[in-house]
């Protein structure tokens, strides 16, 4: 799940709603990487953005973890056993503990999952628990405004190192999901005051918060400092003395700091430097396709964008955007035009899904579709595209708006919001009254994960309010497939419905570009575009 700050390059790694430089005295041993102020408290089930997600992934360890290529391996789990993709027996490795010294037990997982699913807790990642038996009773509210139950009946603790999970239906990628941060364990202290915990999280991962003599680890809107957790014994042992996530107001400032040696690793090269970074950085840069995508989202509740009129307008917008030209001219070929709703680097990706000509630049078709929509209800007003101005989005948003304006003859313009945090809050609260740029970074390497959280009815990151029973049934069929290969075929069949409805307009996939300074080595991109933080070495 992760909504990304996007970036001019967002992505590339995605990211960066960054903001301004520098907190306190800096230990020369810390690897300084770019980041941004998390828009939500650092609670795993309440964090569906990449700025907070990358921090949580350093602070916590789940049942499984993913290597740089996206391959899952057991981490806290000794084993995850199933014979039918419905009933799971999960055994934990002994000896795991949180950084407050308390043990990681079966209850640590079960209690955290129940907390995430409970409607009254309003967790942004709630829908990740929807496959579990009993979810509906805890996720919905009865007439008295309370859930029917507070715990899911499909979760049963057997003993401290074993628990059982029963799903409502076969879910082929459930085991693959278990490294996602929605499924992280929580210590008992979290449930005594979750708000306080979100400000000062205690995990079981490769790092912990590093308070220092100059101030707290998390200096809001400035930085977060992490140090290796000496009791961690999982798959991601740090090869450095710690990380500082420095928050920047823009990527150009971050790039300047990289060149001057004040920043060690920059996960996103700004668009202004895409033609010169190879000259500037020499061999201190790497690139590659990653599981990150960008889209143009328009809430279906807005005037002119509901029902058949809205479907026609979204299809027209898609046909009016010259993706190849923008990828070439704005991004210097660090993006590739979208051919579906997932990402081209994922297993099972098919660039030839029937109906994906809806993603082609076709001005004549765009004008015809817009005219059909006008026959239902004449267009009025401006088409505004909101974006966060603290990342490098203005140039491409303006290019998209101009493409729409030139083809359809409407007033289309970008609408900047100062910060990613404020921008995402409006989207999450459903108060934004314009279209907006959106991005998604894979949480685990599955096409289902690019579709279910964004387009399934009622899903937590379904920001446009899309609902289609046929699509929901298609997703369910994919999840019920006997293996991932057959699931991929069914996922692509379900995508035909999305290509017909165009709930959001896919734009492009990311080709990540990461740069680093001379004092560090071992920098490489992971499957979802972020640096492999644990393996960065600083001389």
Mind giving me the DSSP string for 458-493?
T-TT-TT----HHHHHHHHHHHTSSSHHHHHHHHHH
Query: At residue 26, does pLDDT exceed 90?
Result: no
Query: At residue 13, does pLDDT exceed 60?
Result: no
The neighbour count for residue 77, using CB atoms within 10 Å, is 20
At residue 299, φ and ψ (nearest 5 deg) are -55, 135
**Cα gap 418→398, rounded to integer Å:** 16
Q: Which of 24-28, 218-222, 293-297, 332-336 has the lowest mean pLDDT?
A: 24-28
Q: If you average pLDDT over residues 493-511, what whole number do you get?
A: 98
Query: At residue 11, does pLDDT exceed 90?
Result: no
Query: At residue 10, does pLDDT exceed 80?
Result: no
**pTM, 2 dp:** 0.82
Tell me the per-residue pLDDT of 207-250, one tens digit each, with 9 for 90 and over. Answer: 999 988 778 999 999 999 999 999 999 999 999 999 999 999 88
The neighbour count for residue 97, using CB atoms within 10 Å, is 17
Q: Residue 20 — very low, low, confident or very high, per pLDDT cuts 50/70/90?
A: very low
**Cα gap 430→426, rounded to integer Å:** 6
What is the percent of the chain with per-residue pLDDT over 90, rounded to a whole number?
86
Most confident of the following: 2-6, 285-289, 457-461, 466-470: 466-470
Which two tokens mark 230? 């000496």
Largest CA distance in the chain: 67
Tell me the per-residue pLDDT of 131-171, one tens digit each, with 9 for 90 and over. Answer: 999 999 999 988 888 999 999 999 999 999 999 999 999 99
What is the percent of the chain with per-residue pLDDT over 70, rounded to a whole number?
95
Tell me the per-residue pLDDT of 477-487, one tens digit each, with 9 for 90 and over. Answer: 999 999 999 99
The long-range contacts involving 423-427, CB below 8 angstroms and separated by at least 24 positions, are 423/17, 423/386, 423/387, 423/388, 424/3, 424/39, 424/49, 424/388, 425/39, 426/386, 427/463
**Cα gap 248→23, rounded to integer Å:** 12
Q: What is the pLDDT of residue 89?
A: 99
Tell me the per-residue pLDDT of 510-539, one tens digit each, with 9 for 90 and over. Answer: 999 999 999 999 999 999 999 999 999 998
Q: Residue 460 — very low, low, confident or very high, per pLDDT cuts 50/70/90?
A: confident
Q: What is the pLDDT of residue 14?
A: 34
For residues 376 and 403, the answer to whether their CB atoms sit within 8 Å is no
Average pLDDT, the chain: 93
Q: Residue 5 — very low, low, confident or very high, per pLDDT cuts 50/70/90?
A: low
Q: Which domains does the chain have, with CATH numbers?
A: 291-511 (3.10.105.10)
Q: Give Cα separations from 390 to 27, 38, 86, 270 (angstroms).
A: 27, 13, 44, 12
Tell me the per-residue pLDDT of 35-82, one tens digit each, with 9 for 90 and over. Answer: 999 999 999 999 988 899 999 999 999 999 999 989 999 999 999 999
Assign 525 to helix, strand or coil. strand
Tell me the per-residue pLDDT of 288-327, one tens digit each, with 9 for 90 and over. Answer: 999 999 999 999 999 999 999 999 999 999 999 999 999 9
Query: At residue 18, does pLDDT exceed 80?
Result: no
């Amino acid at each position: 799940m992760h909504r990304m700050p996007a970036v001019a390059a967002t992505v590339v790694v995605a990211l960066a709603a960054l903001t301004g430089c520098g907190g306190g005295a800096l230990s020369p041993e810390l690897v300084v990487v770019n980041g941004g102020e998390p828009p939500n408290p650092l609670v795993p089930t309440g964090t569906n953005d990449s700025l907070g997600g990358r921090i949580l992934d350093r602070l916590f360890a789940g049942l499984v973890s993913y290597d740089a290529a996206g391959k899952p391996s057991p981490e806290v789990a000794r084993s995850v056993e199933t014979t039918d993709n419905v009933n799971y027996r999960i055994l934990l490795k002994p000896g795991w503990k949180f950084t407050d010294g308390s043990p990681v037990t079966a209850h640590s997982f079960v209690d955290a999952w129940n907390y995430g699913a409970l409607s009254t807790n309003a967790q942004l990642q709630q829908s990740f628990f929807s496959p579990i038996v009993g979810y509906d009773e805890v996720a919905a509210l009865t007439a008295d405004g309370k859930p029917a139950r507070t715990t899911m009946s499909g979760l049963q603790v057997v003993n401290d190192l074993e628990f059982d999970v029963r799903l409502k239906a076969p879910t082929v990628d459930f085991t693959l999901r278990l490294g996602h941060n929605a499924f992280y364990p929580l210590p008992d202290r979290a449930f005594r005051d979750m708000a306080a915990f979100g400000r000062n999280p205690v995990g079981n991962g490769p790092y912990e918060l590093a308070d220092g003599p100059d101030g707290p680890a998390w200096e809001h809107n400035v930085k977060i400092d992490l140090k290796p957790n000496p009791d961690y014994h999982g798959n991601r042992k740090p090869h450095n003395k710690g990380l500082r996530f420095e928050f920047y107001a823009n990527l150009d400032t971050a790039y300047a700091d990289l060149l001057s040696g004040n920043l060690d690793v920059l996960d996103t090269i700004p668009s202004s430097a895409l033609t010169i970074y190879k000259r500037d950085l020499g061999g201190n840069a790497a690139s590659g396709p990653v599981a990150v995508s960008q889209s143009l989202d328009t809430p279906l509740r807005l005037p002119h964008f509901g029902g058949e009129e809205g479907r026609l307008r979204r299809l027209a917008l898609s046909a009016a955007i010259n993706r190849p030209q923008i990828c070439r001219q704005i991004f210097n070929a660090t993006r590739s035009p979208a051919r579906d709703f997932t990402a081209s680097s994922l297993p099972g990706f098919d660039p030839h899904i029937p109906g994906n000509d809806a993603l082609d630049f076709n001005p004549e078709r765009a004008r015809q579709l817009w005219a059909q929509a006008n026959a239902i209800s004449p267009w009025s007003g401006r088409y505004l595209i909101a974006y966060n101005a603290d990342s490098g989005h203005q140039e491409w948003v303006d290019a998209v708006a101009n493409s729409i304006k030139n083809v359809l003859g409407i007033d289309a313009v970008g609408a900047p919001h100062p910060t990613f945090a404020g921008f995402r809050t409006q989207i999450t609260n459903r108060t934004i009254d314009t279209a907006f740029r959106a991005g998604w970074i894979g949480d685990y390497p599955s096409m289902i994960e690019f579709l279910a959280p964004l387009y399934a009815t009622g899903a937590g990151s379904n920001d446009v309010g899309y609902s289609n029973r046929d699509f929901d049934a298609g997703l369910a069929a994919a999840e019920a497939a006997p293996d991932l290969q057959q699931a991929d075929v069914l996922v692509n069949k379900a995508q035909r419905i999305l290509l017909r409805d165009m709930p959001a307009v896919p734009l492009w996939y990311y080709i990540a570009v990461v740069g680093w300074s001379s004092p560090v080595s071992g920098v490489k991109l992971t499957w979802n575009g972020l640096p492999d933080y644990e393996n960065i070495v600083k001389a």
